[in-house]
């Protein structure tokens, strides 16, 4: 619960320490780090996309190093089976030859789960994550097992045009709070990366937070205020992703087949509360919505054939929606 401005400041200080520890290992990528922390503080899952070699896996492992939580890495491959992730019942033999079944937990039973190269697994295995990501449970046979709390799936993927990948199902994409794009480092950042990775002294992030602190922050952030007009703005922004909406811009009507579902506006509001908290505010602003809209909605817009053919970016369409709404004010 948020009792005072001092408590917000204390939580903000803990997050700043996490950023500082991450910066000891990761060069640049400040926006990516910020958005990953948004996901963790909002209690959601993140999908991180970028070409190979940009440090996606290292970034997630480093973030996991800053919190005192269990960490599990799953390397997704085409031959990975659902039971390899969730776990399975194994036969146990007693001293008199009697048999019984015992559930052996899979790597999904970690607080922070790195789903590495998630789009290299088949859709059957990808779909094994659906229940875990939404309900925080795993069902094997007739038994349902609760996952630890807090629970985060931080998944990486290479661009879909890379050979040997499978597009994620729309239902699973919708379970990710944000889709975060990792960009190529600058010249100066490349130089610093080389210096850090080829030196004898390798930096290691230290633990500066625990699960109890994260749960307190997640619960407290629910009290961040959202004014009626800001909520209406967020809802209208989401409605404008649908081509049949009268106020949708021309880009949406021309290139979008399906717009975002209700989870889109839930994600925007949830992440906007985190951004307001990190700025030391008790209320969400429309500027917060402008900043979080692209990572919250880019994986929830589905292009039609024309949009796919010309390769238009969902980011540009979302920016066009925001611009059209601002021009009407």
Portion of the chain with pLDDT greater than 90, in percent: 19
Q: Is the pLDDT of residue 234 over 90?
A: yes
C-alpha dist (Å) from residue 52 to 16, 56, 125, 273 = 28, 8, 22, 32
Mean pLDDT, residues 91-117: 81
Q: Is the pLDDT of residue 98 over 80?
A: no
Give the pLDDT confidence of 289-324 residue by residue, as tens digits.
Answer: 999 999 999 999 988 898 888 888 999 999 999 998
Give residue 58's pLDDT.
84
**Overall residue count recorded for the chain in this entry:** 329
Using N-to-C axis directions, what is the helix angle for 30-42 and 262-278, rounded to 10°? Answer: 110
Is there a contact between 268 and 237 (Cβ–Cβ < 8 Å)?
yes
Per DSSP, the residues of 79-92 read T--HHHHHEEEEEE
Enter the pTM of the model.
0.86
Give the pLDDT confidence of 219-231 residue by residue, as tens digits.
Answer: 888 888 889 999 9
Give the pLDDT confidence of 190-219 residue by residue, as tens digits.
Answer: 888 888 777 777 777 788 888 888 888 888
Give the pLDDT confidence of 129-171 residue by residue, as tens digits.
Answer: 888 888 888 887 777 888 888 888 888 887 765 666 777 878 8
Give residue 266's pLDDT.
93
Ordered domains of the chain (ranges, CATH): 1-77+111-120+145-223 (3.40.50.300), 224-329 (1.10.8.80)
CA angle, residues 295, 7, 278, in degrees to nearest 5: 20
pLDDT classification of 173: cutoffs 50, 70, 90: confident
Two structure tokens written together for 267: 């994600």
Two structure tokens written together for 69: 């939580």
């Amino acid at each position: 619960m948020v009792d005072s401005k001092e408590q917000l400041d204390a939580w903000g200080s803990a997050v700043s320490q996490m950023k500082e520890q991450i910066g000891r290992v990761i060069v640049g990528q400040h926006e990516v780090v910020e958005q990953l922390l948004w996901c963790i503080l909002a209690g959601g899952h993140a999908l991180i996309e970028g070409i190979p070699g940009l440090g996606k896996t290292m970034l997630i492992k480093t973030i996991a190093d800053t919190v005192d939580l269990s960490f599990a890495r799953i390397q997704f491959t085409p031959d990975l089976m659902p039971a390899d992730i969730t776990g399975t019942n194994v036969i146990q033999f007693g001293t008199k030859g009697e048999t019984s079944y015992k559930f052996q937990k899979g790597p999904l039973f970690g607080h922070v789960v790195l789903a590495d190269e998630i789009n290299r697994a088949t859709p059957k295995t990808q779909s094994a994550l659906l229940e875990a990501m939404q309900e925080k449970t795993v069902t094997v046979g007739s038994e349902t097992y609760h996952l630890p709390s807090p629970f985060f799936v931080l998944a990486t993927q290479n661009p879909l045009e890379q050979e040997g990948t499978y597009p994620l199902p729309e239902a699973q994409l919708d379970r990710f709070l944000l889709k975060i794009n990792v960009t190529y480092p600058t010249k100066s950042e490349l130089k610093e990366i080389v210096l850090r990775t080829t030196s004898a002294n390798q930096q290691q992030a230290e633990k500066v937070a625990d699960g109890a602190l994260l749960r307190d922050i997640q619960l407290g952030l629910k009290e961040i205020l959202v004014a009626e007009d800001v909520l209406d703005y967020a809802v209208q922004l989401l409605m404008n992703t649908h081509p049949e909406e009268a106020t949708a811009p021309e880009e949406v009507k021309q290139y979008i087949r399906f717009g975002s579902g209700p989870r889109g506006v839930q994600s925007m509001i949830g992440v906007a509360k985190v951004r307001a908290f990190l700025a030391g505010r008790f209320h969400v602003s429309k500027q917060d919505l402008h900043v979080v809209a692209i990572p919250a909605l880019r994986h929830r817009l589905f292009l039609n054939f024309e949009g796919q053919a010309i390769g238009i970016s969902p980011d540009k369409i979302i920016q066009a929606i925001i611009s059209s709404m601002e021009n009407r004010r």
